[in-house]
Structure 1
Amino acid sequence: MSTLTALARAQAVATGRAQAVATVRHLHVHDHPMVLIPLAMAGEANAPLAALAGTDPARPELLVVTQPRDRDERFRFADRLGELLVSYLDSFTDVTEDVPVDRGKDVRTRYVDAPQLWVPNPGGVDFLRLFGRSTRFRTVDGEHPVPAAVPLLGRWLTFFANSAEVPGSSLLLNAVQALGLHWATGQSGAEDAQLGVLLAWIEEGAVAARAVENGPVAGPATDPDFDNRVLAPLIERQAPELPEVLRDLMLPTWERMWRTLNLLRRLPAGERVAQRWDGDKDAFTAFHQYLAEGGAPQPRRDGAVAAAARLQRLESAASRYAVQRAFDDPLVLAEYRLAGAAFAGTVTLAAPDRVDDTGRRPVLRPRIMVRTAEPVRVEPGTSLTSPARPSQRARVISVTPAGSPGESDVLLELSGGMGRKLVAEPGSVPAAGERLVLTTLSEEFRRSGSLPDPAETPWTHGGPPVVAEDSAGQADQQ
């Protein structure tokens, strides 16, 4: 837990109200999302019991498996869920747009929008991942055929579950983590995992949160007391009222999901949220086209090279997401200021037209002096970036004590983001009197390391087996 988050939690305890830990929204909230609340049978590995799904707050559709151990009924459940999901996904494939690539030399096509799924908590994401794995390899013919929508559902659920692992992706979101990204409560992280309590803390405070602590669960697991007292007898006698009992159990969570969406929509979106959503649209377009071309289901597990490449992508996305959040949100950036990775100050001197002619050709290299009262824990030669001008680099020339105690003067040399001429474009160089935040964080693209072809890896990592020459000769003689 960071220092500012710990402080926010302490303030929440003292005031009885959740405290904001963000000034902007760091995720995309769709105007037309699909909310999916899964419910699983206790004691069974990924056995679906029910789901409440839909895109209209007033018209949720209830899917129920009255006998969760009945294989045919479970696949009828998957078939209907697949029809709902695929119908929703197909509504985004009618309109495309051209996106320039390679500095405008070429274009590629993608869908103008992408779908968004919401589940109540991380357990819902795990349920979709496991349910996708159990359905995507099913066949529509043979000894045990299933409806065509079942394997297609499995592939899409796997796609969304994989996207949920990518930091900054908004294709599959869960309400608990989305709220926790923007507010801190006065309770533990385990208690925050209950959507009803967390939402009550944010909307009304601690008193209201205590009143809903024993309310209906948000799934995918059910309450053991409910299982023993209500659910088991209904399933055992195949009671016709089971669907209505489950609907009443899930409706409070359904209503809270839409309240969560409305609550998040009130926050202004961060500047770089749209950029990350563009990446989600690219991913959705690519996978939809892959399926349209007859692409195979995702493998059960990645090979060594594929796993390494995926890890590289996730690490790169995590680093980029952390930087973008800090650049979008001064409250997030404050964490880095406390850690010494950033400082704020005022420009006292500026030489916007300074030219460095010591090299083969003259280059524009303005210098500015920034006075700050914050500790400066960077060495000369360090490259810094300002969120106000992310494409510009500021190299530290020197750090000297200023006239007042505790203040420092930081001399910086600027490069990039000022045009291609020897005269800086207006506003590209900070002027005297401007308040500036500088940090070691950077959005600069970092090329991933090269990975070998799977055929070039040793047999322990999926490559071909190696047979020693002596062993091969002995085998031939025998």
Structure 2
Amino acid sequence: MARYDAARAEASQGVAGGEARLRLAEAELRGLIASQLRPTWDALWHGVDLLRALPEGARVADRWKRDRWSYTGHRDRVRAGEPPQPKLDDAVTAAQKLAARETAQAQLDAHEALDDPLVMAGRRLAGEAFAGEVIDVEMAWSDAKVPRPRPLVTIRTEDRPHLAERVKLHRVTEDGRAQSGEFAGFADMDGADGSDGSDETDETDETDETDGADVAQGPGDAGGPGRALVVRLTGGMGRGKQPEPGTVPEKGDRVCWTLFEHAPRGGPELPDPESTPWTHGGPPDAAAPAQGAQPDPMTEEDYL
């Protein structure tokens, strides 16, 4: 750098040979900078190439389509003369926006876990999902007037999900359809996989037995006997009296169940702004206290 500064000073003063020395010093300086930055630059684009080589997530295209439609709606509103964003929303509009953003975030988190095994591994470590091998399937039906199939699927797993009795479970079948279930309890893995199972259940066991499965007394305990979990299928099997082919896992299948919904929905329906009390932005009524000073008139600065 000192040689470059000296050569630049000589060139500015018109010293003979100063321009040539400046070009040499500049070339040397560029080479030094490139030697420090080039490895990082090359590594960056190598990482980009690796990412581009990965297969696209199954749900990425649908999210991209929804994002485009959302922006198109925003563009149309702006073109129609509507303000892009008010400075202060009323209570109902603010609640609607918050619910929409929370739902979108929950959907993104669920889709990333379903598309990326590494993300799903993190959810499994957090106790929000579990994967394992089906070791037994027992057909059962509901007690309703029109019995519906409710198969009991026993799964051997090394995961420790946060389960409680009848907690809702969700999975995606091989054909991409959603299937629901509920936790029915723990089972003895020795008895479930067809062996004689020499261990007897101790009379002082603190768990209750329901249909041959030990039901967890509280959330977070997945360390039942043999760590075999029993899942009762409650949906995704068609509308007939018998489950449609391929909708019930078979013995030896590898399945993954989650405790989070794959397509979470928003909260309860909110009232219209006109139906809310004056304390939440609705019209004032006779019971409302006297209003204070009126706010300043709206200007262009009130819109972002």
- Tell me which interval the TM-score lies in, with the shorter structure as reference length: 0.5 to 0.7
SS of the residue corresponding to residue 133 of structure 2 reads: strand
SS of the residue corresponding to residue 364 of structure 1 reads: coil
Query: Which residue does 1:373 correspond to in 2?
Result: 158
SS of the residue corresponding to residue 363 of structure 1 reads: coil
Question: How many Å separate the matches in 1 of 2:84 and 2:155?
Answer: 56
Question: How many Å separate the matches in 1 of 2:90 and 2:119?
Answer: 37
* 177, 195, 200: which one aligns with 2:40: 200
CA pair 295-360 structure 1, distance change in 2 beyond 3 A: same
Question: How many Å separate the matches in 2 of 1:200 and 1:383?
Answer: 47
Question: How many Å separate the matches in 2 of 1:471 and 1:301?
Answer: 22
Equivalent residue runs for 1:118-197 within 5 Å: none
Ranges in structure 2 where 5+ consecutive residues have no aligned partner: 1-36, 191-196, 198-222, 292-304
Question: Is 1:396 the equivalent of 2:183?
Answer: yes
Question: How many Å separate the matches in 1 of 2:60 and 2:289?
Answer: 60
CA pair 467-324 structure 1, distance change in 2 beyond 3 A: same
Deviations 1:163-202 (A, max 9, x none): xxxxxxxxxxxxxxxxxxxxxxxxxxxxxxxxxx9x939x
Query: Which residue does 1:272 correspond to in 2?
Result: 59
Question: How many Å separate the matches in 1 of 2:61 and 2:262?
Answer: 16
Question: How many Å separate the matches in 2 of 1:412 and 1:468?
Answer: 55
Task: Answer yes or no: is the 8 Å Cα contact 1:343–1:375 preserved in 2.
Answer: yes
Query: Which residue does 1:320 correspond to in 2?
Result: 107
Query: Which residue does 1:136 correspond to in 2?
Result: none
* 94, 112, 120: which one aligns with 1:333: 120
Query: Which residue does 2:248 correspond to in 1?
Result: 429
Amino acid at match of 1:437: C
> How far did residue 262 of structure 1 move?
5.4
Question: How many Å separate the matches in 2 of 1:432 and 1:382?
Answer: 23
> How far did residue 449 of structure 1 move?
2.3
> How far did residue 276 of structure 1 move?
0.9
Question: How many Å separate the matches in 2 of 1:326 and 1:465?
Answer: 47
Task: Answer yes or no: is the 8 Å Cα contact 1:367–1:413 preserved in 2.
Answer: yes
CA pair 335-393 structure 1, distance change in 2 beyond 3 A: same
Ranges in structure 1 where 5+ consecutive residues have no aligned partner: 1-196, 206-255, 473-478
Question: How many Å separate the matches in 1 of 2:134 and 2:289?
Answer: 74
Task: Answer yes or no: is the 8 Å Cα contact 1:346–1:434 preserved in 2.
Answer: yes
Query: Which residue does 1:418 correspond to in 2?
Result: 237
Query: Which residue does 2:214 correspond to in 1?
Result: none
Identity of aligned residues (%): 35
* 93, 100, 104: which one aligns with 1:306: 93
CA pair 304-377 structure 1, distance change in 2 beyond 3 A: closer
Question: How many Å separate the matches in 1 of 2:48 and 2:75?
Answer: 26
CA pair 280-260 structure 1, distance change in 2 beyond 3 A: farther
> How far did residue 326 of structure 1 move?
0.9
Amino acid at match of 1:340: G
Normalising by structure 2, report the TM-score.
0.61
CA pair 296-439 structure 1, distance change in 2 beyond 3 A: closer
> How far did residue 465 of structure 1 move?
4.4
Normalising by structure 1, report the TM-score.
0.41
Amino acid at match of 2:73: A
Deviations 1:31-77 (A, max 9, x none): xxxxxxxxxxxxxxxxxxxxxxxxxxxxxxxxxxxxxxxxxxxxxxx
Amino acid at match of 1:439: T
> How far did residue 380 of structure 1 move?
2.5
